[in-house]
Amino acid sequence: MNPYLDDDLVALGEQARRFAAQRIAPGFQERDRTRVLDRGLMKEMGTMGFIAPELPEQFGGLGMGCLAAGVIHEEIARADLSMSYINLLASLNGQILQHHGRPDIVKPWLTRLTQGEALLALALTEPRGGSDAANLRLQAERAGDGYILNGEKTSISAADQADAAVVFGRTGTPESGAHGVTALLVPMDLPGITRSRFDCHGQRAVGRGSLFFENVRVPASHRLGEENKGFVQVMQGFDFSRALIGLQVLAVARVALEETWTYVAERQAFGRPLSAFQGVSHPLAGFDTHVEAARLLCLQALWLKDKGAPHGAEAAMCKWWAPKLAYDAVHECLLMFGHGGYDRGAMEQRLRDVLGFQIGDGTAQIMKTIIARARAGRAAVPA
């Protein structure tokens, strides 16, 4: 129980937990080996209404709040963080398409997205850097009733598995910065697109890779937002995904802590349970406290979003704090299992899985700059 989740949301979370425990958890480690997101399970998630439930019904959603997306998201992540990318990418891209796309173009994509029939990636990062995102160079040249794309996006989650991507390209001069960027919905089967797959440390079922564009023609009807306004308009969706990422990694820390509490209460050393030693139980109690507090912050950010209140700083707090905390908590849990924790298994996979979010979707330094700007003012905190 907490002030953000009413009985309906608690019941929704319990339903998602039962589904995830029965259908998603059993393949957690196998998918790390095969490196494939299970499309059959994705379809089941869609049928259950678990993908982007916050979208309006006319786009295939359930018209629920962002907190509903959050409680489902953490239950899927608890079973397999990689599979919960389906929720994350659908909620992030779904919001962008809903608010900035042409309804006749985005509606079929949003319907497939919520039904678990399509996976959308988000392509912002380029080889020359991700933190200075507004400085991107992928060329999007206006040609008649379309745009011609040339260049590379890199480190894109689900790059080789996605059916389409929201791609940010430069339509202005290189000096135009954030004010010369246009966002486009790009189906991945367009001629001129090739893709690669990296060998990732964690999150291996979703994976990352590069997208290469060579004279790719995208109809102007697929533009998201106005020309040259892609960065300013579309980037606002990231406040949503940052709170979701917080819940995603904290769910992994929570299940790790639960398993570890059980283990240290049973495992004996020096004639007593491990938990009898304060050197074991106090660090776990500390992480348990911080994970609980960070989860409440993430729920608060989503609650603020549902209320239409500003939540950019809170979302940035979720995004830098939760991944670091989750990594440290799972690390502590792994050590409590002694040599067994070091074997290939659920705990070491969790550690690999959560690490990626200290980088992906913006690093801690960038998040702290966002918080500092919210507090001290943008002029006082230049890039």
- What residues make contact with ligand FAD under the rule CB under 6 A? 121-125, 129-131, 155-157, 203, 208, 356, 359-363, 365-366, 383
User: Please, what is the minimum distance in Å from the beta carbon of residue 51 to ligand FAD?
Assistant: 17
Q: Smallest Cα–Cα separation from 131: which of 372, 358, 361?
A: 361
Cβ proximity to ligand FAD, 35 vs 107, nearer residue = 35
Cβ proximity to ligand FAD, 198 vs 261, nearer residue = 198
User: Please, what is the minimum distance in Å from the beta carbon of residue 88 to ligand FAD?
Assistant: 9
- Whole-angstrom distance, CA of residue 276 vs CA of residue 279: 9
Cβ proximity to ligand FAD, 259 vs 328, nearer residue = 328
∠ CA 172-175-179, nearest 5°, is 50
User: Please, what is the minimum distance in Å from the beta carbon of residue 153 to ligand FAD?
Assistant: 6
Buried-exposed string 202-220: b where 16+ CB fall within 10 A, e elsewhere: bbbbbbbbbbbbeebebbe
Cβ proximity to ligand FAD, 132 vs 292, nearer residue = 132
Q: Strands 208-219, 146-157: parallel, antiparallel or unpaired by DSSP? A: antiparallel
Residue showing the smallest CB distance to ligand FAD in the complex: 130
Distance, C-alpha 216 to centroid of its chain: 27
Cβ proximity to ligand FAD, 335 vs 366, nearer residue = 366
CA distances from 283 to 154, 249, 286, 329, 348 (A): 38, 19, 5, 9, 19
Q: Determine whether 196 is exposed, middle or buried from the number of CB atoms within 10 Å of its CB (0-12, 13-18, 19+).
A: middle
Helix (H, G, I), strand (E, B) or coil at 109: helix
User: Please, what is the minimum distance in Å from the beta carbon of residue 84 to ligand FAD?
Assistant: 13
Four-residue CA torsion sign, 379, 308, 87, 321: positive
- Whole-angstrom distance, CA of residue 191 vs CA of residue 173: 26
Cβ proximity to ligand FAD, 208 vs 350, nearer residue = 208
User: Please, what is the minimum distance in Å from the beta carbon of residue 198 to ligand FAD?
Assistant: 9
Cβ proximity to ligand FAD, 107 vs 368, nearer residue = 368
User: Please, what is the minimum distance in Å from the beta carbon of residue 208 to ligand FAD?
Assistant: 5
Cβ proximity to ligand FAD, 33 vs 201, nearer residue = 201
DSSP state of 230: I
Neighbours of 370 (CB within 10 A): 21
- The region, left, alpha or beta by phi > 0 then psi within -120 to 50, assigned to residue 196 is beta
